[in-house]
Amino acid sequence: MKLNKTEKSWALYDWANSAYSMTVTSTILPLYFKMVFQNSGGSSTLSTAYWGYANSIATLLLAIMAPILGTIADYRGYKKRFFIIFFSLGVVFTAMLSIVPNTYWWMLLAFYVITVLGFSGTNIFYDSFLVDVTEEKRMDRVSTMGFGLGYIGSTIPFIICMALVMLAQFEIIPLAVETTFKIAFVITAVWWAVFSIPMLRNVKQVYGIDIEPKPVVNSFKRLANTFRNIKKHKTLFMFLLAYFFYIDGVDTIIKMATSYGADLGIGTTDLLLVLLVTQFVAFPFALLYGKLSERFKAKTLLYAGITIYTIICIYAYFMDSVLDFWILAMLVGTSQGGIQALSRSYFGKLVPKENSNEFFGFYNIFGKFAAIMGPFLVGFVTQLTGRTNNGVFSIIILFVIGGILLTKVPDAAPKVQDNSINEAL
């Protein structure tokens, strides 16, 4: 299946913003924060706990904002404006991570929280643009193509950043390791900005509601009606509830993997190399999930992803070597993109297009509120027991609950009709 210009421009944004996910969320910044925290006299284990708390704070703020922003953005012309505002916030503060002094760990966390708000806030509108750029029968393939491009696109700036760090570590270039980390943040911001240009130029809001007087007040009214409408549709509500739990486990593993590996004594070079190879593994598997969605039900493929992540949590409990971390990372690569992409496209088929931002606001609030629980759980159990293995193992409960709730969702995704929204209003 070939993508048209609009679909390609939309999917290419995954190529652009995944540099942030790889460099800031998963690798370079967690390692740099641990270095800065230890330079200030803190312990490695405590830095992992604080990193978890920072992620929880960021996602809590976004979870509160998501449905409100989504509801307002359903007005014609508003979706793109909100996208640009949060995109600019994320890019600017990602670059500003480079100006934080080497011992100001609290400022580094504060700037990181702002970048998360920018990155994740932008994704609310990016996800909902899926209904504007393609038709329902193409959603699974377009969504998985976006994630696939993201995995490959993120590796290029990551390789550059990793090379700088390694060259500095071996004193091949006359730069301090801390300086190469800061350069990496600038590279990430520039990559994110440049490759977002097709999205900014070619993707437009097709569906929406007409602008009306007092848009903010009316948006809150529509938000309340949307919530009541969600409760009336059991399929959609049960899917969101299942998604709430299993995607929390997925996001937690993404955010905490590097800190976990470092606590186990795995060196920076090994960590970066493992995560790089994981991206190359994830690319074909994301496309494979999209291809398989033409033969198997999306729900079946979601179960496959949940099962693999459950195995990952069990394996992580016993992990104690670099080889174990390699095996764990490869398992993550097989299902990370597929479970995220199919969740997005499955939900996109459920919602009415004119009110896509409202519903994707709820989709994001369920996802973001979930992302508070996992990192906090890892941080709390790690701090309580003094063992990171226990913290990672504890999130297995999220996949178990998510899988059980998913059994309540029908195999076929029935469409929420637009007239049901009108009746609610």
Model pLDDT for residues 22-75, shown as the tens digit of each residue: 788 777 888 888 888 888 777 777 887 888 788 878 877 877 777 777 777 777
Predicted pLDDT at 418: 43
Highest mean pLDDT among 78-87, 190-199, 361-370: 190-199
Domain positions in the chain are 5-201+214-424
- Return the pLDDT at 360: 73
How far apart are alpha carbons 372 and 357 in whole angstroms?
A: 22
Paired strand residues for 209 = 75
Phi, psi of 75 (to 5 degrees): -65, 140
| Per-residue pLDDT at 407 exceeds 60 | yes
pLDDT of residue 230: 59
Q: What is the pLDDT of residue 286?
A: 84
Reply yes or no on whether the pLDDT at 328 is more than 50. Answer: yes
pLDDT at 224 over 80: no
**Longest C-alpha distance within the chain, in Å?**
68
Can you tell me the mean pLDDT for 102-112? 90
199 compared with 2, residue with greater pLDDT: 199
In angstroms, the CA 212 to CA 392 distance is 48
The CATH number, out of the four listed (1.20.1290.10, 1.20.1250.20, 2.60.120.10, 3.40.50.2300), of the domain defined by the range 5-201+214-424: 1.20.1250.20
Which of 197-201, 251-255, 344-348 is predicted least confidently?
A: 251-255
The pTM score is 0.74
**Residue 421 pLDDT greater than 50, yes or no:** no
Whether the CB-CB separation of 147 and 337 falls below 8 Å is answered with yes
Residue 164 reports pLDDT greater than 70: yes
Give the model's confidence band at 96: pLDDT under 50 very low, under 70 low, under 90 confident, else very high.
very high
Q: Is 79 exposed, middle or buried (0-12, 13-18, 19+ CB in 10 A)?
A: buried
Mean pLDDT to the nearest integer, 131-155: 84
3-state DSSP assignment of residue 409? coil
399, 333 Cβ separation under 8 angstroms? no
Q: Does residue 415 register a pLDDT over 60? A: no
Q: What is the mean pLDDT of the chain?
A: 81
Q: Residue 192 pLDDT more than 60?
A: yes
DSSP reduced 3-state for 297: coil
Supply the pLDDT for residue 417.
Answer: 47
Q: Which of 101-115, 256-270, 272-286 has the lowest mean pLDDT?
A: 256-270
Asked if residue 60 lies in contact with residue 372, where contact means CB atoms within 8 angstroms, the answer is yes
Contact partners, residue 106, CB within 8 Å, separation at least 6? none
